[in-house]
């Protein structure tokens, strides 16, 4: 079966397309491709357009588009061999953005524009683990030393044990009981403002009042 690779702006392999569906390099389903270039996530929400250079690009001036259908989950494909790095990809100018650019951790769910806009209202909230540990602030301000994007903060460092972006750390491991990325954990981190809990930060679908950490990763990269 023909495979089409997807790259980010710095030429890294970030996803692939097989039989009209978009998958992560580890074969997690991200969504579908309609009319050869329009990408929708697993909920049918419009995400962006595939460019000829292999990038998935969203247009922030387009606004929110309500889903009109919901795609069916495909069979898990055979993991393809990774391609060589893609070179000489031009930078994008706003309002165009590379969906996979600047991510602090690979995502397994594509956030819609509506979700990214909703996160603006949560800016400034603290991220607190279930054990009471402060693990960062929901902020795109690199000058904020507690921000999840601060270059001097351990919270935004994917190699730091305290970071939710560390896939091997206490708060980022897919099997960790305190992790935001454990699909079955009832004790994920939460967002707090002035000490009051707002929402859980988790990929666990059984928790209804939640924010997907994949959306936070995408929002921080905007």
Residue 133 and residue 123 share a domain:
yes
Same domain, 36 and 135: no
Q: Do 110 and 163 fall within a single domain? A: yes
pLDDT digits (tens, 9 = 90+) for 143-183: 999 999 988 889 989 999 999 999 999 999 999 999 999 99
Residue-level pLDDT at 1 = 67
Q: Of 63, 84, 101, which residue constitutes the final position of a domain?
A: 101
Report the C-alpha dihedral over residues 116, 118, 123, 127, rounded to 10 degrees: -80
Same domain? For 125 and 36 the reply is no
Domain residues for 58? 3-101
Beta strands in 71-212 (DSSP E): 96-98, 126-128, 134-137, 190-193, 196-201, 210-211
Whether residue 87 is found in the same domain as residue 159 = no
pLDDT digit string (tens) for 60-82? 887 777 777 889 999 999 999 99
Note whether 210 and 199 are within 8 A (CB): yes
Query: Do 126 and 68 belong to one domain?
Result: no
Strand duo 134-137 + 190-193: pairing: unpaired
Average pLDDT in the chain: 93
Indicate the residue among 51, 68, 101 that finishes a domain: 101
Q: Using an 8 Å Cβ cutoff, are 173 and 164 in contact?
A: no
In a shared domain, residues 212 and 107: yes
- Residue 147 and residue 218 in one domain: yes
Domain-terminating residue out of 71, 86, 101: 101
Total number of domains in the chain:
2
């Amino acid at each position: 079966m023909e495979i089409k690779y997807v790259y980010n702006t710095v030429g890294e392999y970030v996803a692939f397309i097989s039989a009209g569906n978009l998958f992560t390099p580890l074969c997690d389903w991200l969504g579908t491709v309609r009319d050869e270039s329009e990408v929708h996530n697993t909920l049918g929400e419009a995400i962006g357009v595939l460019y000829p250079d292999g990038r998935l690009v969203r247009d922030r001036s387009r606004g929110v588009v309500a889903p009109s259908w919901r795609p069916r989950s495909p069979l898990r494909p055979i993991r393809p061999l990774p391609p060589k790095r893609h070179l000489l990809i031009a930078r994008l100018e706003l309002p165009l953005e590379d969906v996979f650019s600047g991510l602090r951790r690979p995502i397994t769910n594509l956030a819609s524009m509506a979700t990214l806009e909703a996160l603006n209202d949560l800016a400034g909230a603290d991220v607190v683990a279930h054990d009471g540990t402060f693990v960062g602030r929901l902020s795109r301000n690199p000058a904020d030393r507690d921000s999840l994007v601060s270059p001097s903060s351990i919270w935004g460092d994917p190699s730091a044990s305290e970071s939710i972006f560390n896939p091997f750390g206490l708060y980022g491991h897919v099997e960790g009981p305190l992790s935001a990325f454990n699909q079955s954990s009832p004790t994920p981190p939460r967002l707090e403002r002035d000490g009051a809990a707002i929402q859980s930060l988790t990929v666990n679908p059984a928790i209804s009042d939640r924010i997907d950490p994949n959306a936070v990763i995408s929002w921080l990269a905007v």
